[in-house]
Structure 1
Amino acid sequence: MLAAVERERDRVRRPGRDRGRVRGRDRGQTAVEYIGFLPFLILIGIVVIQLGMAAYAIQQAGTASRTAARIASHNNAGDPVAAGRAAVSDWIRDGTQISMAGGSYDAAKATARVEIPKIIPWIDFAPIERSATMPRD
């Protein structure tokens, strides 16, 4: 029994001898923690991209409504709905609707409704609407 205690004491005194074994047990811990955290990083990335797409759709709706109202404010300048749709990016154009209000003789009003492109198919977002009013020439 005394010999066993002395061997244990010698093992404790020589830490270099036991280092490899302790490190070997922790070897894959970082990889496992990273793999466990990876779904959260992917989810955060998807949410950030989706918010960016929503902000871009809002900007495009504003551009479309201003363009349509500007064309409608000029006499015989062309089709305001076609001009508003042409002002929108190709990948948002399919989900864009532009309507012209009855308006008065001194102002032209256009409303653009843009569908927000989505990354996750089972989540639906409300379409974005932006209106613009321009004085007539």
Structure 2
Amino acid sequence: MLEFAGFLPVLLLVGLAAIQLGLVGYAANQAGSGARAAARAASQGDSGEAAGAAAMDGDLSSSIDVGIGAETTTATVEVQVPTLLPFIGSDWSVTKHATMPNDDTDTDD
């Protein structure tokens, strides 16, 4: 019993670290989804920022930047990773990029 009580804080710390790693993966997944949606919408002439924000969890703090070029549109999304462990800094972020070809609106026959 005494050995388990001494080892319990280590087990809790390992469990919390595993959950924190899952939060990093979740933030990366959300950033990728938001970047793809923003690039797709902006390449079709819609609001990329609105589409990117709609594709992500609204509780995550994020920034969306869309750059429209001559042939492609690139969206960059940065998502702040939520922190669970109190001794880990809260300045973690995940950045994802997505590039989509622009719609061909020129109808030369």
Q: Which of the five TM-score ranges fits, normalised by the shorter chain?
A: 0.7 to 0.9
- Quote how far apart the aligned CAs of 1:58 are: 0.5
Query: What stretches of structure 1 move > 2 A for 4+ residues in a row?
Result: none
Q: Quick one: percent identity of the two aligned structures?
A: 39
Higher relative contact order (CA 8 A, sep 6+): 2
In the alignment, does 2:47 pair up with 1:82?
Answer: no
Unpaired stretches in structure 2, ≥5 consecutive residues: 104-109
Aligned to 2:29: 59
1 or 2, which has the higher helix percentage?
Answer: 1
Question: 1: distance between equivalents of 2:17 and 2:85?
Answer: 10
- Quote how far apart the aligned CAs of 1:87 are: 0.6
Aligned to 1:40: 10
Q: Structure 1 residues 54, 111: closer, same or farther in 2, change over 3 A?
A: same
Aligned-residue RMSD, C-alpha: 1.2
Q: Which amino acid letter does the alignment assign opposite residue 101 of structure 2?
A: P
CA contact (8 A) 2:17 2:85 kept: no
Normalised to the residue count of structure 1, the TM-score between the two structures is 0.70
Q: How many residues align?
A: 102
1 or 2, which has the higher strand percentage?
Answer: 2
Normalised to the residue count of structure 2, the TM-score between the two structures is 0.88
Larger radius of gyration: 1
Q: Which amino acid letter does the alignment assign opposite residue 37 of structure 1?
A: F
Match of 1:91 among 41, 44, 59: 59
